[in-house]
Amino acid sequence: MTFYDIKQQYDTFDFENYIAGVSDKMVESSMQKEILNDMDFLNLLSPKALNHIEEMAQKAHETSVKYFGKGILLYAPLYVSNFCINNCIYCGFSTKNKIKRKVLSFEEIEENCKIVSEYGIHHILLVTGESNVKTPLSYLKKCVEILKNYFDVVDIEIYPLDESGYKELADAGADGLTIYQETYNEELYKLLHTKGAKSDYKYRLETCKRAGRANYRNLNVGVLLGLNDFVSEIFFEGIHAKYLQRNFPSAEIGMSFPRLRPAAGAYKPKTIISDKNLIQAICAVRLFINRINIT
């Protein structure tokens, strides 16, 4: 079963009505469980759970220390290109925007690697705009090979590939993949991504599965908070991460929570995610999936 199949099971689920009915007692009951089901997770994402945010934070902290100690992993992103073939209406790199575009040469990449590695960074994230013309697989493979000479861990955040493409980059030294679904709402996704390969919702949704089959040891998913309502997006991101954890038990699974913020002349977020909501999401995720990397 694909994650798309699992998500379809919630197509008729009334999130708004369920959330409105969540009580303090339901939140308390979910918090007391050692193993949370999907509805427990949803309870902890509800507005009512904000009444218990201190208790949630304390338990989430204890869980983090239990499984990860007090360590924090630092990584640095290395952007190698801002060329993109997609039209995402919220993104400054969108193909319709008339901005200066550049692809770093291999010499420039090596120079950047030298600078970053001198700061003691051992984990690098290779980031590129989504253009398989300007940054083809052969280019990305060479990038990974260069980065692997300077860093212990090389993760990639690039346009989605098929399984063989991910295998080729893994053979070159890639360790992990980060991919942002942006929104799990399929209808909204189509409105936000009007042109380019990224307009294929289902292909993007199953990207981590293809990388997992190529034996990537780090798989990280994310949504762009502000595009849609907070609760359903974090809920689907969480059950997506849990699906990956079940199907690829040897991989480290991670979740990211980037937020859209208002800016003059920029895309206006549908909702503004407060710091308190962000803390709520992080705590709820930690209690739902104890062994999850959070960025």
Please state whether beta strands 218-223 and 193-195 pair in parallel, antiparallel, or not at all (unpaired).
unpaired
> What does the pLDDT read at residue 117?
98
Residues 6+ away with beta carbon under 8 Å from 59: 31, 283, 287
In-domain check, residue 220: yes
Residue owning tokens 């759970």: 49
> What does the pLDDT read at residue 170?
98
State which residues form the domain around 20: 3-45+72-294
Contact 184, 236 (CB under 8 A): yes
Q: What's the CA dihedral at 271, 76, 59, 226 to 10 degrees? A: 10
In-domain check, residue 156: yes
Res 277 pLDDT > 90 = yes
Q: Measured between alpha carbons, how far is 219 from 242 in angstroms, rounded to an integer?
A: 11
Q: Indicate the number of domains in the chain.
A: 1
In-domain check, residue 65: no
Please provide the average confidence, as pLDDT, over all residues in the chain: 96
> What does the pLDDT read at residue 77?
98
> What does the pLDDT read at residue 71?
86
Segment 210-262, tens digit of pLDDT: 999 999 999 999 999 999 999 999 999 999 999 999 999 999 999 999 999 87
> What does the pLDDT read at residue 92?
84
> What does the pLDDT read at residue 268?
85
Segment 67-99, tens digit of pLDDT: 999 988 999 999 999 999 999 999 888 888 888
In-domain check, residue 172: yes
Using DSSP, state whether 4 is helix, strand or coil: helix
In-domain check, residue 53: no
Q: Measured between alpha carbons, how far is 141 from 256 in angstroms, rounded to an integer?
A: 25
Q: Measured between alpha carbons, how far is 286 from 61 in angstroms, rounded to an integer?
A: 8
Residue owning tokens 């209690």: 287
Q: Measured between alpha carbons, how far is 183 from 243 in angstroms, rounded to an integer?
A: 17
Res 164 pLDDT > 90 = yes
Mean pLDDT calculated for residue range 158-179: 98
In-domain check, residue 66: no
In-domain check, residue 89: yes
Segment 127-136, tens digit of pLDDT: 999 999 999 9
Instruction: Tell me the residue type at 27.
Output: V
More confident of the two residues 264 and 113: 113
Q: Measured between alpha carbons, how far is 191 from 228 in angstroms, rounded to an integer?
A: 12
In-domain check, residue 54: no
Res 145 pLDDT > 70 = yes
Model's pTM, two decimal places? 0.95
Instruction: Tell me the residue type at 285.
Output: V
> What does the pLDDT read at residue 265?
60
Please state whether beta strands 87-88 and 193-195 pair in parallel, antiparallel, or not at all (unpaired).
antiparallel
The CA distances from residue 193 to 89, 94, 184, in Å, are: 7, 10, 13
Mean pLDDT calculated for residue range 35-58: 98
Mean pLDDT calculated for residue range 140-160: 99
> What does the pLDDT read at residue 235?
98
Res 264 pLDDT > 80 = no
Res 196 pLDDT > 70 = yes
The CATH number assigned to the domain holding 144 equals: 3.20.20.70
Q: Measured between alpha carbons, how far is 76 from 72 in angstroms, rounded to an integer?
A: 13
